[in-house]
Structure 1
């Protein structure tokens, strides 16, 4: 693969993890290149509006990324947004739409936080974790046939229609997720909520599963 392109993409990922910005020296050290190389890479990304310098001259992500990201799963996000808003307000919890990425990862495509809730979980879209970790991935694994050595949570999710995990993606946070059904192969998307208490988790799971089913119907 192209080492230059690889380093440029590493910079974008690095900046996404440091919204407060980084200096060129910071970037060079973190991606393992000479400062002169990092400077050239940053200047190239700046020319395409993929990064910029803030008022402290630190490098931050640029608005050009918005244009690139907009078409990604646009239909899915457009159809899901009102359902996620409704679910967030009904449960007073943070709602997430997760998509399978490759063979073994889940990525947060959308995150909706409840308005007016005194306390809620907060995390950013774009975060990834293993499909074997957290309720979002286990909900997708539960749609498939039983596997030797599968987690008990997957077996249980296959029976009840939603998966529940605790403290696997965010410490002390309980995830409740259901797969979005599809008529086009195996499901690759799940809807879930993040809460702090197990009280009423069964009812919460049924609500999440119903929302996932509604999105599946809209997607056809």
Structure 2
């Protein structure tokens, strides 16, 4: 019969604890181990070790190397680890924050990441009461055509910005005339205000503001944007949208820092 440890209120399973300890030990050692070696490392009897290994192998948390007869971390263990790391990734952190921001502020929220000369839309969250703007995940748009992209470009030094312009022209996405005084003004606006602004972004009659997100002290290749109809009585104001996107960007950056500390612990 399985032994339980601790008080009645906090009883824990010794068998489960041994199984988790086994997985943790093998994962940290990052190697292959025989049943005898595992038992020795954990100070467990051969019978208990065999049962634990057999159970974990059956459920694919351990895998047996048929050539050596030793055991390594299995597919299910990797899946558990991936779900943990995903929770602390940008997308894992951003989704609940942007969902809440979209509905609290009645705006359309987007998350995007730079891919060369384009911004790739990763997720959209609509909380707009009057008009819902949906953009399919994976949609690519030239960086300078979106508030997210302008926010990312505004961080760049002159040489990197020149490289972007040259690549966009070479790829046929843009002409030289697209990088005019208006383009320079949009970059300067973003640097001065902390957020980028594009009127009629992708859709006519829509104001959009964007801000980068990421860890402090680094160039950011990801950004968020808020958009609302210009006719919206509450959110048609660029200044109001800008304040909200800056606030949300700061929240995301703080949570990314916290997630990094936790995942590194």
TM > 0.5 between the two? Answer: yes
Give the alignment partner of residue 141 of structure 2, picking from 121, 129, 146.
129
The answer on whether the counterparts of 1:111 and 1:123 sit within 8 Å (CA) in structure 2 is yes
CA distance in 2, matches of 1:134, 1:110: 15
Aligned with 1:132: secondary structure? helix
Report what 1:86 is aligned to: 100
Aligned with 1:107: secondary structure? strand
Aligned with 2:210: secondary structure? strand
Residues 169 and 118 of structure 1, relative CA distance in 2, 3 Å threshold: closer
Q: CA deviation at 1:73?
A: 6.5
Give the alignment partner of residue 201 of structure 1, picking from 238, 247, 253.
238
CA distance in 1, matches of 2:237, 2:200: 17
Aligned with 2:223: secondary structure? strand
The answer on whether the counterparts of 1:157 and 1:163 sit within 8 Å (CA) in structure 2 is yes
Aligned with 1:154: secondary structure? helix
CA distance in 2, matches of 1:166, 1:145: 25
- The alignment's TM-score, normalised by the length of structure 2, stands at 0.51
Deviations 1:90-129 (A, max 9, x none): 221110011111x2110111111117x2322222221110
Report what 1:105 is aligned to: 118
Report what 2:59 is aligned to: none
Q: Name which one, 1 or 2, has greater alpha-carbon Rg.
A: 2
Aligned with 2:144: secondary structure? coil
Deviations 1:179-200 (A, max 9, x none): 1142363101111112111732
CA distance in 2, matches of 1:184, 1:161: 15
Aligned with 1:85: secondary structure? helix
| Greater share of residues in helix | 2
Residues 156 and 219 of structure 1, relative CA distance in 2, 3 Å threshold: same
CA distance in 1, matches of 2:204, 2:251: 30
Give the alignment partner of residue 109 of structure 2, picking from 91, 95, 109.
95
Is 1:172 matched up with 2:205? Answer: yes
Superposition CA RMSD, Å: 2.6
Is 1:138 matched up with 2:150? Answer: yes
The answer on whether the counterparts of 1:143 and 1:179 sit within 8 Å (CA) in structure 2 is no
Aligned with 1:143: secondary structure? coil
CA distance in 2, matches of 1:160, 1:184: 18
Report what 2:196 is aligned to: 163
Residues 151 and 168 of structure 1, relative CA distance in 2, 3 Å threshold: farther
Structure 1: gaps (5+ residues):
1-69
- The alignment's TM-score, normalised by the length of structure 1, stands at 0.60
CA distance in 2, matches of 1:132, 1:119: 24
Give the alignment partner of residue 153 of structure 1, picking from 169, 177, 186.
186
Is 1:118 matched up with 2:151? Answer: no
